[in-house]
A and B are shown apart, each in its own frame.
Chain A
């Protein structure tokens, strides 16, 4: 049978199994019921969390007493926790605090500082949207967001958190648009301020002291200061400056920066385009922290967008996208874009090892009764590390599914020969390769190499995909066995400096011969 047909058939079979397993679709009149029923069954588990969280809230309120005392009309009652009895809680797991550049001092830091409960460390302050993220030693995350965009439709931000079951609640000095029991989020619109304040607190019922205190801090007098944060966060100012250098001479550019921060993801983007709004041409630069399976895919959805350059700097990928305007002319010349990349690269040179990478050096097959917690404990890793190595871990945690267990490895050198690159061109991905392990990246002038450790049917092996740096097209794949290694193979070098000489580790143990990644063997299937 033709291999293409065979794959198509397998995909249809897989989709059929997934759909069958979901059972029959609910009737229309069952939708609301289904929605509520599932909420309440989850609610039982959630109750445990809330019970545990109550004590934290009480402690938090003590810490906030100073803030609350000054505003007589502000309630100190925790809204959600009011009806929940305080009971002993289980000790929350300890996670290592995320390593990240320290937050830059800024006016927003000063505003936020008195609002942050005892025991929390502010990890990040910046924006837009203006965001403060704080962690405590137990890994509880507190996130506050202020959206200063005057044209934000009141309630638009709230829509994201809409919970019809809870409805709207009024609060003094501000309007609580939504309070969602699940994620325990609240969105406030602040009287006299064209902005909304969102407080996301995953683990505790909202402390009204935190929310109203922050709202009070956002007086019109403070707002001009907050506006300054648009240019102050780490990196974004540098990116803006770099983009400015190529746009000033050619275009009256408008530049907007955006930044999303978390221990797992870090994403910076800057766009520049002509000030004439009728010309929609635009150049955007995105810096994306990448682990696995996220190359240039999914970056541009605009039909006029073309990726004109990509560059790897450590574990960052800089992607330059050009959006063609109505005149069908590219906004920037190749020379300008190259100059931009050259300027941007050093900005990320020391942004390495700032958080967990998506890697693994062992796998665990889930058995009935496993929980995320029990797996993490068994391998002596943190929940953060486990989550970092496995996208969608929770959604697909069924018995039989393999998940990646991250662990350190000792590098072993494997030499290669760049001249073998030619044979790479015509390789076919063999069906017997299973990526059970790390994925790393390397760049040459023309290509990005995705280098995967894993197994083939003979033992440890490496699989390399080559992707055109400019177009994002997959140009070829090749597989090299690692002699004497039972596998799986771990790519220990990160980033890979030279795709033809990849440092690997054979796990669990084992010595190996020198392997020429490109020329030793290229398996093909018929």
Chain B
């Protein structure tokens, strides 16, 4: 691998942050990205990674899944602390947030790579380590939801 960790990060930071924003929403995106990148680059296997870009995408997705898993626990915990959770709206239309909320984290990942990164089904599958069949199914079901909510 010719590039240093810093160079690899700089090269992909923007699309990874956008990816994170799609997976967990804009306000948690930066935090998610930081955790994922730090975890990925401090892992022993980082040095032998063949495709750092795919590896980082997967790391962010894994981190987002983790967040979704602990989401209910955090939900109850933070509700107890009685801190209002609704924050100032970011510059995202509510219908977009609504639509994204109806997708699973995995569906969001496939949609992002397809529509933002313009990857083919094959490339999306390689990036996420899925079968093409699974990728296609996720994309199709996501489009069904999005058609209802965005158009």
Same complex? yes
Interface residues of A, Cβ cutoff 8 Å to B? 3, 6-8, 10-12, 14-15, 17-29, 31-32, 34-35, 38, 45-46, 48-49, 52, 90, 92-93, 139, 141, 162, 164, 183, 202-203, 264, 293-295, 297-298, 300-303, 305, 366-374, 376, 383, 387, 391-402, 429, 431, 433-435, 465, 472, 474, 477
Q: In the bound complex, do residue A11 and residue B34 qualify as a contact, i.e. CB atoms below 8 Å apart?
A: no
25 A-B residue pairs with CB within 8 Å:
A6-B151, A7-B150, A11-B115, A18-B18, A18-B25, A18-B26, A19-B18, A22-B21, A25-B30, A25-B33, A35-B31, A49-B77, A49-B78, A93-B80, A162-B39, A300-B134, A368-B89, A371-B86, A387-B76, A391-B104, A398-B89, A400-B94, A400-B97, A401-B94, A429-B148
A15–B96 Cα distance when bound, in Å, is 9
A164–B70 Cα distance when bound, in Å, is 19
A18–B138 Cα distance when bound, in Å, is 20
Query: Which among B33, B72, B86 is the interface contact of A367 at CB below 8 angstroms?
Result: B86
Q: In the bound complex, do residue A369 and residue B83 qualify as a contact, i.e. CB atoms below 8 Å apart?
A: no
Q: In the bound complex, do residue B25 and residue A396 qualify as a contact, i.e. CB atoms below 8 Å apart?
A: yes
Q: In the bound complex, do residue A183 and residue B17 qualify as a contact, i.e. CB atoms below 8 Å apart?
A: no
B132 to nearest A CB, angstroms?
8
A90–B83 Cα distance when bound, in Å, is 13
Given contacts A25-B30, A395-B25, 9 further A-B contacts (CB under 8 A): A11-B143, A25-B16, A93-B80, A293-B104, A297-B137, A368-B84, A368-B86, A396-B97, A401-B97
Which of chain A's residues has its CB closest to B103's CB?
A293
Which of chain A's residues has its CB closest to B26's CB?
A21
B114 to nearest A CB, angstroms?
9
A435 neighbours in B (Cβ, 8 Å): 102, 148
A93 to nearest B CB, angstroms?
7
Most buried by A among B22, B31, B78, B80: B80
Q: Could you give, for residues 36-71 of chain B, a 1 whenever the CB lies within 8 Å of some chain A CB and a 0 otherwise? A: 011100100000000000000000000000011011
A19–B90 Cα distance when bound, in Å, is 11
Q: In the bound complex, do residue A301 and residue B79 qualify as a contact, i.e. CB atoms below 8 Å apart?
A: no
Q: In the bound complex, do residue A45 and residue B81 qualify as a contact, i.e. CB atoms below 8 Å apart?
A: yes
Which of chain A's residues has its CB closest to B20's CB?
A22
B100 within 8 A of A: yes
A374–B78 Cα distance when bound, in Å, is 12
Given contacts A183-B73, A297-B137, contact A93 B79 (CB under 8 A): yes
Most buried by A among B24, B72, B91, B115: B72
Q: In the bound complex, do residue B28 and residue A395 qualify as a contact, i.e. CB atoms below 8 Å apart?
A: yes
Q: In the bound complex, do residue B150 and residue A49 qualify as a contact, i.e. CB atoms below 8 Å apart?
A: no
- The B contact surface, by secondary structure, is helix
B151 neighbours in A (Cβ, 8 Å): 3, 6-7, 10, 431
A25 neighbours in B (Cβ, 8 Å): 13-14, 16-17, 30, 33
A465 neighbours in B (Cβ, 8 Å): 144
A368 neighbours in B (Cβ, 8 Å): 84, 86-89
Query: Which among A22, A139, A396 is the interface contact of B100 at CB below 8 angstroms?
Result: A396
A202–B75 Cα distance when bound, in Å, is 11
A454 to nearest B CB, angstroms?
9
Most buried by B among A20, A298, A435: A298
Q: In the bound complex, do residue A397 and residue B38 qualify as a contact, i.e. CB atoms below 8 Å apart?
A: no
B98 neighbours in A (Cβ, 8 Å): 401-402
Range, interface on chain B: 35 or more
A7–B93 Cα distance when bound, in Å, is 16
A31–B42 Cα distance when bound, in Å, is 12
Interface residues of B, Cβ cutoff 8 Å to A? 5-6, 9-10, 13-14, 16-18, 20-22, 24-26, 28-31, 33-35, 37-39, 42, 67-68, 70-94, 96-102, 104, 106, 111-112, 115-116, 129-134, 137-138, 140-141, 143-151
Q: In the bound complex, do residue B101 and residue A392 qualify as a contact, i.e. CB atoms below 8 Å apart?
A: yes
B146 neighbours in A (Cβ, 8 Å): 7, 10-11, 14
A25 to nearest B CB, angstroms?
4
Q: Which 6 A-B pairs have the closest CB atoms?
A: A400-B94, A19-B18, A21-B26, A21-B90, A25-B13, A22-B21
Q: In the bound complex, do residue A474 and residue B140 qualify as a contact, i.e. CB atoms below 8 Å apart?
A: yes
Which of chain A's residues has its CB closest to B82's CB?
A373
Q: In the bound complex, do residue B22 and residue A18 qualify as a contact, i.e. CB atoms below 8 Å apart?
A: yes
Query: Which among B22, B77, B116 is the interface contact of A202 at CB below 8 angstroms?
Result: B77
Q: In the bound complex, do residue B111 and residue A474 qualify as a contact, i.e. CB atoms below 8 Å apart?
A: no
Q: In the bound complex, do residue B104 and residue A298 qualify as a contact, i.e. CB atoms below 8 Å apart?
A: yes
A53 to nearest B CB, angstroms?
9
A35 to nearest B CB, angstroms?
4
B102 neighbours in A (Cβ, 8 Å): 293, 435
Given contacts A34-B34, A370-B84, A434-B148, contact A17 B25 (CB under 8 A): no
B150 neighbours in A (Cβ, 8 Å): 7, 10-11, 14
B97 neighbours in A (Cβ, 8 Å): 396, 398, 400-401
Q: In the bound complex, do residue B78 and residue A372 qualify as a contact, i.e. CB atoms below 8 Å apart?
A: yes
B1 to nearest A CB, angstroms?
16
A367 neighbours in B (Cβ, 8 Å): 86
A24–B14 Cα distance when bound, in Å, is 7
A189 to nearest B CB, angstroms?
19
Q: In the bound complex, do residue B92 and residue A34 qualify as a contact, i.e. CB atoms below 8 Å apart?
A: no
A302–B134 Cα distance when bound, in Å, is 9
A398–B101 Cα distance when bound, in Å, is 11
A370–B79 Cα distance when bound, in Å, is 11
